[in-house]
Amino acid sequence: MGKLITAISILLALVTVETYGQRTHFVGLNPSVTVEPFYQEGEFDLNIVPLVYQVPLNSRIDFRASTTVNLGFRESSTKVSHLGGQVAFPIFLKKKEELTIPSAGFFAAPGIGFTRNILEKHSNFGFFIEPGYNLQISEKWSISFGVQLGATHFNYDNGEKKWGNHFGIKIFIGRWL
């Protein structure tokens, strides 16, 4: 899984270097709370490093990467629970005329995610489709709303492996540079 993260990082770096002066770039936040079915009542995770980066690849498709550093609020203690991130490719219905224009409107984003759950001792790999809408709230600022539907593979340190459903509500707010 480390090789996948390295490949994604290299792709992000190449896209950023190659396109920096020719395209607009979105930098923002993804405030999120996670509640898993196996958590005790009242337990949850809060993403404390909710960074998002997005860049158009062409007139319809963008590349988006977001980080996950969850602080786990458990009955016994509060500490970092998850480390990881997601990569998605929002595909917009409306074609834009220039890559310097912020992406806006309805989209569907296929994506993948990887996290390491330090508290419950397992790694997660998932895939999803995220239909959503990117709303321009000013010339440079936007807010994006999406619903992720997919599946997650749980790989526990004790050797147990299982699949689970993935459902997430995503909100990204930020600025186009």
Nearest C-alpha neighbor of 147 from the set 63, 88, 103, 70: 88
Sequence-ordered strand ranges (E) for the chain: 26-29, 33-34, 44-47, 51-56, 62-73, 78-88, 91-92, 105-117, 122-136, 141-156, 161-176
pLDDT at 66: 96
Enter the pTM of the model: 0.84
**Which residues are paired to 77 by β-bridges?**
none
pLDDT band at 71 (very low <50, low <70, confident <90, very high): very high
**Which residues are paired to 120 by β-bridges?**
none
**Domain holding 17: CATH number?**
2.40.160
- Burial of 14: CB neighbours in 10 Å, binned 0-12, 13-18, 19+: exposed
pLDDT at 40: 87
To which H or E segment does residue 11 belong?
helix 2-19
pLDDT at 120: 86
pLDDT at 39: 82
**Which residues are paired to 162 by β-bridges?**
154
Structural domain containing residue 75 = 2-176
Q: Does the pLDDT at position 7 exceed 90? A: no
How many angstroms separate the first and last alpha carbons of the chain?
Answer: 32
Number of domains in the chain: 1
pLDDT digits (tens, 9 = 90+) for 113-148: 999 999 889 999 999 999 999 999 999 999 999 999
pLDDT at 167: 87
Q: What is the mean predicted confidence (pLDDT) over 75-100?
A: 93
Q: Does the pLDDT at position 16 exceed 80? A: no
pLDDT at 101: 92
